[in-house]
Amino acid sequence: MKILILGANGNLGTQLTKVFGDDPENEVIAWDREQIDVTDQELVDKKVADIKPELIINAVAYNAVDKCEDDEDEYDLAKELNIDVPRYLAKAALTNKAIIIHYSSDYVFEGNGEGEYEEDYETKSVNRYGKTKLMGERDVIRMSGMGLKWYLIRTSKLFGPKPENQDAKENFFDIMLKLSEKKDELNVVDGERSCFTYAPDLAKATKELVESEKGFGIYHLVNEGPATWYEGVKELFRLKNIETKVNPIASEDLERPAKRPKSSVLKNTKLSPLRSWKEALAEYVNL
Ligand SMILES: NC(=O)c1ccc[n+]([C@@H]2O[C@H](COP(=O)([O-])OP(=O)(O)OC[C@H]3O[C@@H](n4cnc5c(N)ncnc54)[C@H](OP(=O)(O)O)[C@@H]3O)[C@@H](O)[C@H]2O)c1
C-alpha cells in the first residue's frame, strides 16, 4: 500500500512511520514540515495528486492546550492545524480516492458525570483546544456523506519514545522523571481521569485497524485502565524505585488557563483492547 504520513517527526508520527514502514508490503512517504507545509492547501492538493497515495495518515496537530486558551495568535494556529489541515487533507483524500486517518482527542468530551465515553457519545468540549479538535472531526465526518473513506481515531494522554525532532514536546512521564531529580516532593493532579496511551501501541493498533475488515468511522484507541496524573506518577516512581514524595492535589489547585474534563475515559467498544497502560509504561521505562 502507498501511504503518506504527515507530521512524521512528531510523537505519534515517528511510531507510525516505523510500524507501517517495517512492513515490506508498504511504500511509506513520511513528511514533516521540512517536506511540506500542510497549512498550504494548494501545495497539499498538488503533492497529494503527484504522489497518489492510497492512504493518508494525518499526525499533524496543535497540542498546546494552555497556550491557545488565552493567546489569540496561538488560538489561530490551533484552528489552522486542527481544523483547516484535516479539512484540506480530507478533501485531497476524497479527490484522489485515498483513505484518510485522522486523530482526535478525549478533550472533545465535556468530562462531567460518569465521564466514560463510547465512540458515538455526544461531544462537547470545555476548552479551546478541545473545540478545535472537535471542529476538525466534524469536517472529516461531514465529508463521509460525499464518499470519503475515513477513520477517526480518538486517543488520550499520549506518551512514548522522544522523536528525533528537536522541538518535540516532552511527554508527561519524562517531565516527572526530570522533576524527581530536582525535587524531594511533587504535587500532582489526582483528577482528569482518562487513559494513558503508548504511541507505539497506538501506531500498531492503527495498522491493525486499516488491515481489518472494520468499517470506516470513529474508533477509540487507548491503553486499558483509566488513571489520573497522580496515579500515573505513582506507578512510574514505583517502576523506577524513585523515592520522591508525591502529593495528590485537585485539578483546581493547579493554576492553568484551560479547563480540563474531570473524567474523559475513551471506551473502546469496536476493537480488541490494547494492553494495560501499566504494562506499556513498564516497557517504556525499560527501553
Ligand atoms: N499528545 C497527546 O497527549 C495527545 C492526546 C490526545 C490526542 N492527541 C492527538 O494525537 C495526534 C498526534 O499528536 P502528537 O502528540 O504526536 O503531535 P506532535 O508530537 O506535536 O506532532 C505533530 C507534528 O506535526 C508537525 N507539524 C506542525 N505543523 C506543521 C505544518 N504546518 N506542516 C507540516 N508539519 C507540521 C510538527 O512539527 P513541529 O514539531 O516542527 O511543529 C510535529 O512533527 C494529534 O492529532 C493529537 O491531537 C495527542
- For residue 166, is pLDDT > 80? no
| Cβ(41) – ligand 1 distance below 6 Å | no
**What mean pLDDT comes out for the span 221-233?**
98
Contact between 43 and 36 under an 8 Å Cβ cutoff? The reply is yes
Contact between 212 and 273 under an 8 Å Cβ cutoff? The reply is no
Atom 35 of ligand 1, nearest CA residue: 33
The whole-number pLDDT of residue 56 equals: 98
DSSP annotation of 92 reads: H
Contact between 94 and 148 under an 8 Å Cβ cutoff? The reply is yes
pLDDT tens digits for 188-220?
Answer: 999 999 999 999 999 999 999 999 989 999 999
The whole-number pLDDT of residue 169 equals: 84
**What mean pLDDT comes out for the span 262-272?**
98
Strand blocks (E) in the chain = 2-6, 27-31, 55-58, 99-105, 116-117, 149-155, 158-159, 185-189, 197-198, 217-220, 245-249, 265-266
| Cβ(9) – ligand 1 distance below 6 Å | yes
Tell me which residue has cell 499520549. Answer: 158
Atom 1 of ligand 1, nearest CA residue: 158
Expressed in angstroms and rounded, the spacing between residue 4 Cα and the centre of ligand 1 is 15
CB-side neighbour CA atoms (13 Å) of 67: 9
Most ligand 1 atoms within 8 A of CB, residue of 4, 19, 32 to mutate: 32
pLDDT tens digits for 18-46?
Answer: 999 999 999 999 999 999 999 999 999 99
The whole-number pLDDT of residue 165 equals: 78
Expressed in angstroms and rounded, the spacing between residue 284 Cα and the centre of ligand 1 is 20
Q: What are the CA-CA distances from residue 188 to residues 8, 100, 257 (Å)?
A: 31, 37, 17
pLDDT tens digits for 55-96?
Answer: 999 999 999 999 999 999 999 999 999 999 999 999 999 999
Query: For residue 138, what pLDDT band results from cuts at 50, 70 and 90?
Result: very high
Q: Which residues lie below 8 Å from residue 166, measured CB to CB, with a gap of 6+?
A: none
Percent of the chain with pLDDT over 70: 100
**What mean pLDDT comes out for the span 161-179?**
91
Percent helix, strand and coil across the chain, each rounded to 5?
Answer: 40, 20, 40
- For residue 276, is pLDDT > 90? yes
The whole-number pLDDT of residue 287 equals: 84
| Cβ(157) – ligand 1 distance below 6 Å | yes
Active site residues: 129
Expressed in angstroms and rounded, the spacing between residue 242 Cα and the centre of ligand 1 is 30
Could you count the other beta carbons within 10 Å of the beta carbon of residue 209? Answer: 16
- For residue 253, is pLDDT > 80? yes
Tell me which residue has cell 482527542. Answer: 105
The whole-number pLDDT of residue 10 equals: 96
Q: What is the atom index within ligand 1 of the atom nearest the CA of 8? A: 43
Instruction: Tell me the three state secondary structure of residue 237.
Output: helix
Percent of the chain with pLDDT over 90: 97
The whole-number pLDDT of residue 164 equals: 87
Please report the domains of the chain, with CATH numbers, ordered by start residue: 2-161+196-220 (3.40.50.720), 172-191+227-285 (3.90.25.10)
